[in-house]
Amino acid sequence: MTINRRNMLWLVPLFLFLSSPVWEPPVASFLKPRGGYNAGLEKASEKQAQNFVMDAMTLTMSTKGRVEWVIKAARAFTGSRGRMIDMIDVDAVYTGAGRDKTYISSNRGRYNIDRQHLVLQDNVRVRKPLEKQELYTDLLHYYDRTKKVVSPGDVEIKGPDFSIQAGHMKYDLLSHAYDFSKGVVCRF
């Protein structure tokens, strides 16, 4: 029988197995987790609030890997309810479906993380520079899941050749369809 290193290699696992009663207890006690499990501590950490206040926040929303919204706020902080982000001095840029950029600004905003719902309030201005159109309202809701914009209050849209005033507006970003109600006045 020829003795070489390859033939002796099987002796290493055999040696580890036979000597395990000597080295296993100290290694097992070293690797054992310290402390016990306390369910009360886990529940307390779940209830703990995660509040923040930020200066100069940028929020990016994307669909299928393509950035659609870039929302910047001069100040942001956690909302009073749930997973909400309240914002002050909001400037946003919307670029959806490869279309031209739309610029939105407002004094205040709120984003619900769970519902993917953006609310812009106080002096909301929406500008489409290439189409030379501007929209003015005091309250604007954007629902990211359905890609719809709703303004429940008075709305004014100005273009180079027209002006529209309405008491309510819905806009579908996918079909580009407007729905006005509550006293619509159009001027051409």
Q: pLDDT tens across 2-19, in order?
A: 667 777 778 888 888 899
User: What's the pTM?
Assistant: 0.69
The answer to whether residue 27 sits within a structural domain is: no
Q: What is the mean pLDDT of the chain?
A: 84
Residue 93 lies in a domain: yes
pLDDT digits (tens, 9 = 90+) for 18-66: 999 999 999 988 888 777 667 676 666 555 556 778 888 888 888 787 8
In a domain, 165, yes or no: no
Task: Using a pLDDT cut of 90, give the percent of the chain over it.
Answer: 32
Instruction: Please tell me the predicted confidence (pLDDT) of residue 13.
Output: 86
Q: What is the pLDDT of residue 45?
A: 55
Q: How buried is 78 (Cβ within 10 angstroms: 0-12 exposed, 13-18 middle, 19+ buried)?
A: middle
CATH number of domain containing 132: 2.60.450.10
Write the CA distances from 91 to 41, 50, 65, 75, 99, integer angstroms: 41, 25, 22, 11, 19
Question: Hey, what amino acid is at 83?
Answer: R
Owning domain of residue 51 = 46-152
Kindly state whether residue 176 falls inside one of the protein's structural domains.
Answer: no
**Residue 157, in any domain of the structure:** no
State the total domains in the chain: 1
pLDDT of residue 24: 92
Position 160 in a domain: no
Residue whose tokens read 């990016």: 60
Would 77 be classed as within a structural domain? yes
Residue 37 inside a domain? The answer is no
